[in-house]
Amino acid sequence: MTAPEDATVRNDADRNTADGRAIDGTPAADHRSIQRFGSGGRWEGVYGYSRVVRAGDLLITAGCTATVDGEVAGVGNAHSQTLTAFGIALDALAAAGATRDDVIRTRMYLTDAAHADAAGRAHAELFGSVRPAATLVVVARLLHPDHLVEVEVEAYVGGQSRTILI
């Protein structure tokens, strides 16, 4: 997936002064390898966040839900919402240079412990061969009342990707 036309990519190297120091006075090397990727989503500008931040070889997504074109997909279906939310996260990572095989950590936030099996099965469908570190947390609620699941994903693109099952 490529970033939408209204998506933003900001490389913090652009914040350097002529003498090679960052605008805040720290050495430029402290900023040059951070990139922020926007998806053009409504809330990114309003709440001031990026869909993906890449710091060197590490890529981290913001929380992703099953909101597609402003509507919650898979209402009442935690399995479907988990697949959709992870799909959004993986598309965003792909636009920033990472693949599913690069994923090293996932987090799933559920509104009800009863959704754990459905979310876990969806996670296994997507990441069973990758086997990232994973966290599953039950929360009181998410922003939209129809959201059952929110996910975050981290990827590492340095070196060679490999999976060792123990």
For the chain, which domains are there?
9-156 (3.30.1330.40)
**pLDDT at residue number 20:** 41
pLDDT of residue 160: 57
Q: What 3-state class would DSSP assign to 14?
A: helix
CA-CA-CA-CA dihedral for 104, 46, 34, 126, to nearest 10 = 20
**CA torsion sign, 116 to 119 to 123 to 124?**
positive
Tokens of 127: 């990441």
Alpha-carbon distance of 134 to 163, in angstroms, equals 15
| pTM more than 0.75 | yes
Q: How far apart are CA 139 and CA 121, in angstroms?
A: 19
Record the tokens describing residue 2, joined without a space: 């490529």
Q: In this structure, what are the phi and psi dihedrals at residue 161, rounded to the nearest 5 degrees?
A: -80, 135
Is the separation of the CB atoms in 134 and 105 below 8 Å? Answer: yes
Among 139, 39, 146, 23, residue whose Cα is nearest residue 89: 39
What distance in Å separates the CA atoms of residue 156 and residue 159, rounded to the nearest whole number?
9
Strands 103-110 and 133-138: parallel
What are the 10-residue block averages of pLDDT along the chain, 166 residues in total?
Answer: 46 45 46 84 90 96 96 98 98 96 98 98 98 98 97 90 54
The pLDDT value given to residue 28: 46
Residue 38 and residue 44 in contact, taking contact as beta carbons nearer than 8 Å: yes
Q: Tokens in use for 59? A: 């890529």
Confidence (pLDDT) at 166? 56
Distances in whole angstroms, Cα of residue 33 to Cα of each of 53, 59, 116, 126:
10, 11, 37, 29
